[in-house]
Amino acid sequence: MRERELRGPLPLILLAAVLVYAAVLLLAPMAAIVSSAFAGGVGKVINALLLPDVLLAFRMTFLLALGAMLINTLAGTVLAWVLVRHNFPGKRLVDALVDAPFVFSPVIVGYALILMFGREGWFAPTVVQIAFAWPAMLLATVFVSLPFVTREIQPVLAELTLEQENAAYTLGANRWTTFRRVVVPQIWHGLLYGMVLTFARSVGEFGAVAVAGGAIERYTETATIYVFRAMHDRNPIGAYSVSVALGVLSIGILVVMSLLRRRPSHTAAD
């Protein structure tokens, strides 16, 4: 669809309404957080970010985000491949369940993990503690970020023709080699975009990891949970400083997503 220049009062009014909407919901809160964080000077912000609790919280956040991204990259690719290339009973149900994290409350997800893996849960662990520990937080993060890789590469896989794959088979390539050298280059752009979305969603998760991990200080505390605790502990500098750091990280992720969106995908034929 060709873009058109804004002409007439109605498009200008709509544009102004969108800008005001974005300013009120996005720019104003960020400006308030930044101004509050730096009200006492840059030194206080730096000192707040270098506290052991904050460093541990960010370490937990990045480990969960990285783990969820790796797991969902593999699982999401396999799931997209099965949904596109195979027919089986219940396929529509499985395809609909991929979007379950969009409709389920993260708090319910965390509570469900406690019911399953708690001391009196259905699968009560005997050796490794899962509930109120890192494994439950990882499971919760994996669940809430599940759809992104699948939904990004699923339409790309659906548009691929089989000529190049069949040619690779006739030349003696096995299925893995064909997938790696023929299919992956064609879905690589969508796969990267889905990985970035997965990482971004994982970094910002709060409800599921707070319930599943118990929000135990210095043990199962992520950056978002630390902000929540700092607010209740009347530590505004800590809350504002970590919020600014998360905001800067989010902006960086948005820049990466914008670059990936503009970059044209390359096929194996290229």
What would the pLDDT profile of 59-90 be if each residue is shown by its tens digit? Answer: 999 999 999 999 999 999 999 999 999 999 99
pTM: 0.86
120 touches 47 (CB < 8 A): no
Architecture of domain 42-262: Orthogonal Bundle (1.10)
Contact (CB, 8 A) for 206 and 224: yes
Q: At what angle do helices 134-144 and 106-117 cross, to 10 degrees?
A: 140
> What is the crossing angle of helices 223-232 and 236-262, to 10°?
150
Q: Cα separation of 185 and 36, whole Å?
A: 46
- pLDDT reported for residue 127: 66
Tally of CB atoms within 10 A around 28: 11
Domain residue spans in the chain?
8-37, 42-262
Pairwise CA distance, residues 104 & 219, whole Å: 26
Residues 241-270 have pLDDT tens digits of: 999 999 899 889 888 888 877 765 444 344
Q: At 261, list the tokens.
A: 């969106």
The mean per-residue pLDDT over the stretch 13-22 comes to: 83
Percent of the chain at pLDDT exceeding 90: 54
More confident call, 213 vs 32: 213
Task: Select the highest-mean-pLDDT range: 116-120, 202-206, 255-259.
Answer: 202-206
